[in-house]
Amino acid sequence: MKKRFQAIMGAAILLAGLTGCQEELTAEKPIIYLYPEREQTVTVALRCDGELLCTYPEYQDGWTVTARPDGTLVNAEDGEKYSYLFWEGELDTEYDMSKGFVVAGEDTAAFLREKLSQMGLTPREYNEFIVYWLPRMQDNPYNLITFQEEAYTQHAELDVTPKPDSVLRVFMAYQGLEKPISVEEPEITAFERTGFTVVEWGGTEVV
């Protein structure tokens, strides 16, 4: 049975089966920011191992936009301005929950602000991430929070033309916990923005 999960990208189980079989989960609200060095036309295509459930603006075998250095996008299809590209879908993948951070629900906002900033998100980007996810996480006694890389990017590929100089894709998979558990904490690598930069963030709840 397919399940929808909450992400602004999305995907995603407890320690006894952290890397075991997982059902298709919804990559929620992955959103994509484009920051070219100069105003230019950019096309973005998604190749997902799964099904797109919702896109904004509407996905027509890809998006074609005029992108500006401040991140403003003008969609070629309707001529309207957008701050980012949004998609949500069900992904056929497994997420590794064996490494992560166990965080008290009441500490979620501060934790996300610290880690997302450390990864390289700007205040605008990490605040938009936090206001989407915080209402879903803060009332849990604890959360196991993981940041997925290959498990996400290999099943939700981005094809951007012209090719960007730097790409940051942050995808969180989390699970609510009644009690804290012991897991290995991964190292966080800082992202360096150079030239034409693409940033994406999203997530999912593992249930």
pLDDT band at 16; cut points 50, 70, 90? very low
> Do 203 and 10 touch, CB atoms closer than 8 A?
yes
Query: What pLDDT shows up at residue 19?
Result: 31
Structure tokens at 102: 């166990």
Task: Enumerate the β-bridge partners of residue 86.
Answer: 31, 56
Q: What is the pLDDT of residue 72?
A: 98
Q: What pLDDT, in 10s, does the model give residues 47-63?
A: 988 889 999 999 988 99
Query: How far is the C-alpha of 2 from the C-alpha of 125, rounded, in Å?
Result: 29
pLDDT in tens, 138-190: 999 999 999 998 889 988 999 999 999 999 999 999 999 999 999 999 999 99
SS3 content of the chain, % helix, strand, coil (to 5): 20, 40, 40
Residue 32 pLDDT > 90, yes or no?
A: yes
Average pLDDT on 21-35 reads: 72
Q: Would you state the torsion angle of the CA atoms of residues 95, 101, 104, 106, taken in this order, to the nearest 10 degrees?
A: -90
- The tens digit of pLDDT for each residue in 67-120 reads 999 999 999 999 999 999 999 998 878 889 999 999 999 999 999 999 999 999
Checking if the pLDDT of 46 tops 50, the result is yes
**Geometric angle at alpha carbon 146, from 142 and 148, rounded to 5°:** 160
Cα 97 from Cα 144, distance rounded (Å): 8
How far apart are alpha carbons 137 and 57 in whole angstroms? 27
pLDDT tens-digit profile of 116-136? 999 999 999 999 999 999 999
Q: Tokens 């690598």 sit at which residue?
A: 189
Paired with 51 in beta bridges are 90
Q: Say what the pLDDT of residue 30 is.
A: 92
pLDDT score of 18: 33
Q: What's the CA gap between 163 and 92, in Å, rounded?
A: 26
SS3 50: strand
